[in-house]
Amino acid sequence: MPAKLRPSTAPKAPTPSVLHPEDEDSRLEALRAYQILDTPPEKAFDDLVRLAAYICNTPTSAVTLIDEERQWFKARIGLDSLQSTAREHAFCQHAMLAENVYEVEDAQLDPLFQANPLVTGDPNIRFYAGAPLLSPEGQPLGTICAIDSVPRRLNDAQRDALQVLAREVVAHLELRRARIQLEQEQRKLEGLLQMANDAAESIYSSGGQTEIFIKQDHKLLRVITADIRYVEALGDYVNIYTGRERYTVYSTMKELESKLPVRNFARVHRKYIVRLDRIIAIESDAVVVEMGHSSDQATSVIPVPIGSSYKATLLSRLNLI
């Protein structure tokens, strides 16, 4: 059944006014937290209004959001000439406060709407049905509604479907907000990483202790470059090997090489960088890198390939006798 049906006759139409929920400031804050007002059309919402129009068998449908002084259409079909309307004329400001579907069978016979400019003029609303969009905290945000220029009445299945679509709209709003928040956090993390690496570069250029910061599991870890034994490239990622740990980061060899102190590291292969003071031997096609001590105090070593085009440069940097 409709949430509320208006009487068909009345001596005088009331003056249109803006309805305000009890805590309008909190409601507006909840709406604006979605960062969706005045954004371009999005397919997910466009598809839902098309489905609402199909289910309700109406030529017009919309997802509306009720701002402080206006109702704004995030998605609409059959209302091409309208982007928003004054809030005081919005059927949706009533519908968003309803417990279920708010239905007006014939606006010309309804004293609340019969003098409404949306009824007396374009788009000539006669029938309206709207399901409220409620945030997870219960704040009314707007509606998904179906509109026609002739009187009609929904059946129970159509009303139920319209409420299902309202929940889908809110689910898409929540997903959209979560994506925006994730992107904002990612930008913040990248900014912190850049600041940390810039600070490390400054320390290096002044002759102080060298370090880099790497992203691991949504946090920044400091790695002292003196602890790095070698670096290995793996496509779009690199592995950084210290005496005890291996860190995998999204980077390129060229980018990482620029962050390491030149006097301490050398490129020995297109896929490998080694720390010079950890080389304990050079074989025909590999450098032997000291990795630290194992549990039995034995020195752990690992061979790292030398590229033929890098060998001469490597030898020129070693103190040969």
21 closest CA partner among 84, 86, 128, 96? 96
What distance, in Å, lies between the first and last C-alpha atoms of the chain? 96
Residues 139 and 266 in one domain: no
Residues 149 and 238 in one domain: no
- Residue range 134-150, pLDDT digits in tens: 999 999 999 999 999 99
Contact 263, 312 (CB under 8 A): no
Highest mean pLDDT out of 14-23, 102-111, 176-185, 192-201: 102-111
On whether residue 191 sits in a domain, the answer given is no
Residues 154 and 262 in one domain: no
The continuous run of DSSP H or E covering 79 comes out as none
- Residue identified by tokens 């946090």 is 219
On whether residue 165 sits in a domain, the answer given is yes
- Residue 294: its pLDDT value, please? 64
Contact 100, 3 (CB under 8 A): yes
- Residue identified by tokens 């909840």 is 30
Residues 137 and 257 in one domain: no
What's the mean pLDDT in 230-249?
A: 88
Select from 145, 180, 215 the last residue of a domain. Answer: 180
3-class DSSP state of 15: coil
On whether residue 259 sits in a domain, the answer given is yes
Give dist(CA 177, CA 136) in Å, integer: 13
Residues 86 and 234 in one domain: no
Residues 238 and 165 in one domain: no
Tell me how crowded residue 186 is: count the other CB atoms within 10 A of its CB.
Answer: 12
Residues 54 and 148 in one domain: yes
On whether residue 142 sits in a domain, the answer given is yes
pLDDT above 60 for 4: no
- What is the residue range of 154's domain? 24-180
Tell me how crowded residue 22 is: count the other CB atoms within 10 A of its CB.
Answer: 6
- Burial class of 77 by CB neighbour count within 10 A (0 to 12, 13 to 18, 19+): buried
How many domains does the structure of the chain reveal? 2
Residues 28 and 176 in one domain: yes
- CATH number of the structural domain spanning residue 123: 3.30.450.40
Q: What is the pTM of this model?
A: 0.58
On whether residue 17 sits in a domain, the answer given is no
